[in-house]
């Protein structure tokens, strides 16, 4: 069903995980999708997959922690399609370690990608989104309101996304802009697998099950993508603060 036919979406972190699944779902609904991430080859594969299914996608390799690349991504989207209807701020990184062991560079890296990039990219795309009365969809985390130990930096970035979502919604909602943040619990992404498997013994002891079993119990990227598409299509008034909670196995 091409319910989003002709719409234009810019998706960050589109090369795998949640970003990839949201991109495929958008294209499946008829939207033109600009795929933004650093890994050009993966983006080209996803774009070819979308086009093979009859969809339309533009792969755009960029490092969105750089202001010049953020501007290039917005400019390329408008040049290719003339508008922006949906901005999906999905790109992010995760790490878990005691704050005293986190370097200043690691803090800056996570802040740059998880928080500064969505703020700056939204600012650059805002005039187009207001013109189209579009939607900003931010990908946050349930840990932003139910935090584990040793996630101080990550949780700070995602709590910032929640505040950004609410403020942006309050600032521009009357002008027709819809704004949401998805707050999923644990999701079976390459990012989380990489972390869990690097500490397999400790994590299996904590979870009280093999990781392979755990992966079958938590949310999938497709689950999160489906909720995201629901927000884009239906633009529901609830939740009033725009924060969409998605519980997973351990919550």
> Could you tell me if 161 and 115 are in contact, meaning their C-beta atoms sit under 8 angstroms apart?
yes
> Could you tell me if 244 and 136 are in contact, meaning their C-beta atoms sit under 8 angstroms apart?
no
Element (H, E) at 86: strand 86-89
- CA–CA dist 237, 251 (Å, integer): 25
- CA–CA dist 14, 18 (Å, integer): 8
Q: Which residue has the tokens 């992404």?
A: 189
Provide the 3-class DSSP secondary structure of residue 208: coil
All residues at 6 or more sequence positions from 221 whose CB lies less than 8 Å from its CB, including other chains: 17, 18, 20, 21, 187, 188, 189
Q: Which residues of 222-248 are buried (b: 16+ CB within 10 A; e: fewer)?
A: bbbbebbbebbeeeeeeeeebbbebeb
What's the CA angle centered on 70, arms 8 and 152, to 5 degrees?
105
- Name the residue among 248, 231, 119, 126 with its Cα closest to residue 184: 248
Tell me which residues are annotated as active site.
Answer: 154
* DSSP 8-state symbol, 241: T
């Amino acid at each position: 069903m091409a319910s989003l036919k002709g719409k234009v979406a810019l998706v960050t972190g589109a090369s795998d995980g949640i970003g990839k699944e949201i991109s495929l779902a958008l294209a499946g609904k008829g939207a033109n999708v600009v795929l933004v991430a650093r890994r050009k080859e993966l983006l080209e594969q996803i774009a070819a997959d979308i086009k093979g299914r009859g969809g339309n996608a533009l792969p755009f390799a960029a490092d969105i922690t750089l202001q010049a690349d953020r501007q290039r991504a917005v400019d390329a989207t408008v040049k290719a399609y003339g508008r922006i209807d949906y901005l999906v701020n999905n790109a992010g990184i995760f790490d878990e370690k005691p704050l005293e062991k986190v370097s200043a560079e690691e803090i800056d890296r996570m802040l740059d990608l998880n928080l500064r990039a969505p703020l700056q990219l939204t600012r650059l795309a805002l005039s187009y989104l207001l013109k189209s009365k579009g939607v900003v969809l931010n990908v946050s985390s349930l840990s932003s309101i139910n935090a584990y130990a040793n996630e101080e930096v990550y949780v700070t970035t995602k709590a910032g996304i929640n505040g950004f979502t609410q403020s942006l919604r309050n600032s521009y909602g009357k002008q027709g802009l819809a704004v949401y943040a998805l707050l999923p619990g644990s999701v079976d992404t390459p990012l989380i697998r990489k972390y869990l498997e690097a500490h397999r013994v400790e994590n299996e002891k904590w979870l009280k099950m093999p990781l392979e079993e755990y992966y079958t119990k938590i949310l999938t990227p497709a689950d999160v993508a489906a909720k995201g598409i629901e927000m884009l299509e239906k633009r529901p008034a609830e939740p009033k603060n725009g924060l969409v909670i998605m519980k997973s196995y351990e919550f």
